[in-house]
Amino acid sequence: MKELFTPQEQALFKRLNTPRKIQDFLDDIPINFEPEGDTCFSPRMVLQKKRAHCIEGAILAAVILRFHGHQPLILDLETTRDDLDHVVALFRENNCWGAISKTNHAVLQYREPVYKTIRELVMSFFHEYFKNDTGKKTLRSFSKPINLKIFDNKNWMTAEEQVWYIAEHLAGTKHIQILSRTQERRLRPATAIERRYGEIIQWKDPVQK
């Protein structure tokens, strides 16, 4: 598999030999604000264009994890219709799950590999997943882990074009609900101080006033 990558890519991936190093690398990549319209860059395109949003970062992280012997797994966190889903790359250490996360916000960040189950990891995102304007908590379901090996025949790791088929597969796969209707009705909105924390961002949109 390693021969698929350029010498430059291989050298980079060799340096990023732990999930923590991969996360640090993703943190340093500017957010893709999609100035030319919606994108779903392949890992190679992310490295070329030097920008990524959540699914693009997760797919790149999955490639680098695979380079080091992990399964290339991603997972979709699905929200209410008035919020945006989030995608993370999964990894396991000592039989516990962790997540690598490309985000522009102070919340929804990297998760340490301390979670015994996928649901336990997903629920670690629940409290902080809210709308800043209203405080509404919006996380509602999650997908099963998707092993990106199923797209190997499409050369997703080194494609020179966008990989929308991965995003479409994620959107269409079965999601597991995390709340009952009663629980949903009784949710307490995030407080004003929590919402201020949620407004912290790393990268400012250059076209936003």
Each residue's pLDDT, cut to its tens digit, for the chain (209 residues) gives 778 999 999 999 999 999 999 999 999 999 999 999 999 999 999 999 999 999 999 999 999 999 999 999 999 999 999 999 999 999 999 999 999 999 999 889 999 999 999 999 999 999 999 999 999 999 999 999 999 999 999 999 999 999 999 999 999 999 999 999 999 999 999 999 999 989 999 999 987 75
Residue 204 lies inside a defined structural domain of this protein: no
Domain residues for the domain of 163 are: 2-198
Residue 147 lies inside a defined structural domain of this protein: yes
CA dihedral 109, 48, 12, 63 (to 10 degrees): 60
Residue 206 lies inside a defined structural domain of this protein: no
d(CA 199, CA 190): 12
Model pLDDT, residue 209: 52
This prediction's pTM: 0.96
Residue 181 lies inside a defined structural domain of this protein: yes
Residue 11 lies inside a defined structural domain of this protein: yes
DSSP string, 80-119: -TTS--EEEEEEEETTEEEEE---SBSSS--EEEEESSHH
d(CA 115, CA 184): 24
Model pLDDT, residue 2: 76
User: How many domains, in total, are found in the chain?
Assistant: 1
d(CA 90, CA 98): 6
